[in-house]
Amino acid sequence: MVRTKDSELSVFKGREAKLNRVIFQILKLKGPQTIYDMHKQIKRCRGLKHTYYPNVNKRMRTLEQTGYLKMVTIQCSKAGGEKAIYELTARAYLALKLDPTTMEELLSKMSEEVASEILAAIAGLT
């Protein structure tokens, strides 16, 4: 099925899309992680072997600011510093579910009641 650019989520567009997808998938499978642990996991992924730590750090902090990740706790490290542990938010889980589907597929599988509820929610936003 052909996807149009207009129906693609902004978190999965552009140059950061591949790294965002991998971050989401790792957190979904492995649970909450620190940025350092995420970097180690990402370097094991095919095509991302040469990903730099500062890129992962910046990407995860940006995803936190946009509401896709949240800081769960702060742990003390062995070196005496503090490290934050991040997990996915409901918005990130929804983005993962919506990513492979098009609007047409979504509307065709949706019941009339669910469509009415979504329409009411959207009407409440404007």
Each residue of 11-65: pLDDT tens digit?
A: 777 888 889 999 999 999 999 999 999 999 999 988 899 999 999 999 999 999 9
Please report whether residue 91 resides in a domain. yes
DSSP 3-state percent helix, strand, coil across the chain (nearest 5): 55, 15, 30
Radius of gyration, alpha carbons of the chain? 17
**pLDDT tens readout for residues 91-124:** 999 888 887 766 777 778 888 988 888 888 888 8
- β 82-88/69-76 pair status: antiparallel
* Residue 71, pLDDT score: 94
* Residue 52, pLDDT score: 94
Q: How many domains are there within the chain? A: 1
Please report whether residue 94 resides in a domain. yes
Backbone angles phi, psi at 32, to 5 degrees: -55, 140
Please report whether residue 55 resides in a domain. yes
pLDDT of residue 2 exceeding 50, the answer is: no
Please report whether residue 4 resides in a domain. no
Backbone angles phi, psi at 12, to 5 degrees: -110, 25
Q: Which residues on neighbouring strands pair with residue 123, listed in sequence order?
A: none
Please report whether residue 21 resides in a domain. yes
Q: Which residues on neighbouring strands pair with residue 71, listed in sequence order?
A: 86
Please report whether residue 78 resides in a domain. yes
Please report whether residue 121 resides in a domain. no
**pLDDT tens readout for residues 79-94:** 778 889 999 999 999 8
Domain of 35? Answer: 9-101
Please report whether residue 71 resides in a domain. yes
* Residue 1, pLDDT score: 43
* Residue 6, pLDDT score: 53
Provide the CATH number for the domain around residue 51.
1.10.10.10
* pLDDT more than 70, % of the chain: 91
∠97-48-70 over CA atoms, to 5°? 45
pLDDT of residue 4 exceeding 60, the answer is: no
Statement: the pTM of the whole predicted model exceeds 0.85: no
